Amino acid sequence: MSIGNVSAVLVHGAWADGSSWSKVIEGLKAHGINAVAAPLPLSSLHDDVAALDRTLERIEGPVVLAGHAYAGAVIGSTHADNIKALVYVAALAPAVGETVGDVFYRGEAHPLAPKLSPDRHGLIWLPEEAFAAAFAQHASAQELTVLGAVQRPISASCIGEAVGRPLWKDRPSWFLITEQDRMISPDTQHFMAQRMNARVHSHQVDHTPIVTAADAVISVIVEAVQAVSVH
């Protein structure tokens, strides 16, 4: 199996869309790796897994599946046969019976973390000022403008649904820990990565390195692709 046969499927988290992976997609292409950004409705964990499965059905050959933040729960809840490895980028990895909320709120919140609550439609929006304060504090003004403009709300039901047996128990996994994360506690990330027995890469980056430190993300995904390509 050559590296060119392995595709990367990239899954966005809450308050984002597939465009958040733009730099990573371009960087992977330079390494000869085709990438597809899977769109999620963010309406429920069940809906999001179903949407991811529809994307995976369209991919021929082996896949390295990468998820950012909330999407860690989504990539851990699919069981598509063509997935060969998982890459968690500051991502939440609930274990059997846990919810996204259980792991998200496990650690002490950063002082600059936003206070989150659903609106009358049951949707949680990220306050505009939180993009610069906590979501991507290392982003440029232009990047922050785009992140705020394309944000998609997440349904409160996404974070309250318990997961089954996660795929990381059955596939090799990588974890990029974001040590300057103000959204998901770095301590929580270390806890999850250790519990998963993941191959850890730790960087002094913010919560959204897919935008602000793309090279670090690209290198981890390339490493995972190369690892599964030798088998």
Please spell the DSSP secondary structure of 85-116, one letter per residue: EEEEES-----TT--HHHHHTSSPPPTTPPP-
What mean pLDDT value characterizes the chain? 96
Tokens in use for 101? 């909320």
Where residue 230 falls among pLDDT bands split at 50, 70, 90?
Answer: confident
Class of residue 35 by CB neighbours under 10 A (exposed 0-12, middle 13-18, buried 19+) = buried
Here the CATH number for the domain that contains residue 82 is: 3.40.50.1820
For the record, the structure tokens of 125 come out as 């929006």
The tens digit of pLDDT for each residue in 61-72 reads 999 999 999 999
Domain count, the chain: 1
| 204 has pLDDT over 90 | yes
Q: For residue 171, what are the domain limits?
A: 3-229
Using CB atoms within 10 A of its CB, is residue 138 exposed (0-12), middle (13-18) or buried (19+)?
Answer: middle
**Residues 51-103 pLDDT 10s:** 999 999 999 999 999 999 999 999 999 999 999 999 999 999 999 999 999 99
